[in-house]
A and B are shown apart, each in its own frame.
Chain A
Amino acid sequence: MMSNENELSHHFEIKGGDFSNAGRASTSIKEILREIGIDSSIIVRAAIASYEAEMNVVMYAQRAVLTLNITPEKLHLKLEDEGPGIENIDLAMKEGFSTATDEMREMGFGAGMGLPNIKKNADKFEISSIPGKGTSIDITICLDKTEEK
């Protein structure tokens, strides 16, 4: 954890295939946001976006680092994974598109709602991917209400 007067930063490592711990990083993020007094509606949006992103790593990638950065104006989540990447991002962003396995579906996931739901909960959402290397996701949620989308 790093922090100064105006900025707070946390890093979480997520392991691909680790279903028994899937969601723990996002649960921790939710607790951190609650402890520092972030508005509850923003906490839920950040937690959902983070959880969907975390589940994607557990389901599809080998590993990832999820970084939470908070300033007085913005909450930023950056996820960088090492994994198969996404061949067609436009297709992956479509609700219902999924390449999930039976194991993923047994966990209650893999309905093809993850990426669209991350975007829905973010004020700003960016995704880039290199097939065969990995995917990077940037999620920004404004804390200053005048900057909301």
Chain B
Amino acid sequence: MTLKEIKELLQAEVICGDDCLDLEITFAGGSDLMSDVLAFGKPGILLLTGLSNAQSVRTANIIDAKAIVYVRGKKPDKMGIKEAKEKGMPLLSTKFMMYTACGLLFSHGLPGVSGLSLKKR
């Protein structure tokens, strides 16, 4: 699934990284807890989070995440956006809450970190 398809599914706004919408996303994970993201995230992940400070961008960068989707209409602070631009990390924002955003992506075939998907069940 491309980031563009994810943007459309989640009716999301692109905060930065308009030129990266062709990125292929193969799995995703959602958490507001960066400790969990560091412990269970994997390189290439699409991170869905409600944590909107610069730490979300730094954590995503540390684990080589491909992009971040902020849920509940949240947007990162200025420092977060600046750092995301510097690192080439696309940021999106959706009005959907975490459960709905993750459910929409999962039900359209985007698996989680464990690889479990509806198609494989």
Which residues of A are at the interface with B, using a C-beta cutoff of 8 A? 19-20, 22-24, 26-27, 30, 40-41, 44, 47-48, 51-52, 107-114, 116-117, 120
B16 interface contact, C-beta 8 A: no
With A44-B43, A113-B38 known as contacts, the answer to whether A27 contacts B62 (CB < 8 A) is yes
Q: Is the interface of A mostly helix, strand, loop or mixed?
A: helix
Residue contact A44 to B61, C-beta cutoff 8 Å? no
Docked complex Cα distance between A22 and B79 (Å): 12
With A20-B54, A20-B79, A40-B43 known as contacts, the answer to whether A111 contacts B36 (CB < 8 A) is yes
Which residues of B are at the interface with A, using a C-beta cutoff of 8 A? 32-39, 43, 49, 51, 53-56, 58-59, 61-64, 79
Docked complex Cα distance between A47 and B41 (Å): 13
With A20-B54, A22-B55, A23-B55 known as contacts, the answer to whether A111 contacts B35 (CB < 8 A) is yes
Docked complex Cα distance between A120 and B40 (Å): 11
Residue contact B35 to A113, C-beta cutoff 8 Å? yes
Docked complex Cα distance between A26 and B87 (Å): 14
Report chain B residues within 8 Å CB of A107.
34, 51, 53, 55
With A113-B35, A113-B39 known as contacts, the answer to whether A108 contacts B61 (CB < 8 A) is no
With A30-B62, A47-B62, A52-B38 known as contacts, the answer to whether A108 contacts B55 (CB < 8 A) is yes
A122, chain B: closest CB distance, angstroms = 14
Docked complex Cα distance between A144 and B58 (Å): 28
Report chain B residues within 8 Å CB of A44.
43, 62-64
Cβ-closest chain B residue relative to A41: B43
In this complex, which of B35, B54, B58, B64 has the most chain A Cβ atoms within 10 angstroms of its Cβ? B35
Docked complex Cα distance between A22 and B33 (Å): 16
Residue contact B43 to A117, C-beta cutoff 8 Å? no
Report chain A residues within 8 Å CB of B61.
27, 30
Residue contact B64 to A113, C-beta cutoff 8 Å? no
Report chain A residues within 8 Å CB of B49.
108
Residue contact A113 to B79, C-beta cutoff 8 Å? no
**Considering the complex of A and B, which 6 residue pairs feature the smallest CB-CB distances, nearest first?**
A108-B34, A111-B35, A23-B58, A113-B35, A108-B51, A47-B62
A/B interface sample: 11 pairs, CB < 8 A = A20-B54, A20-B79, A22-B58, A23-B54, A27-B58, A44-B62, A47-B63, A107-B34, A107-B55, A108-B32, A114-B35
Docked complex Cα distance between A108 and B55 (Å): 8
A59, chain B: closest CB distance, angstroms = 11
Docked complex Cα distance between A48 and B59 (Å): 9
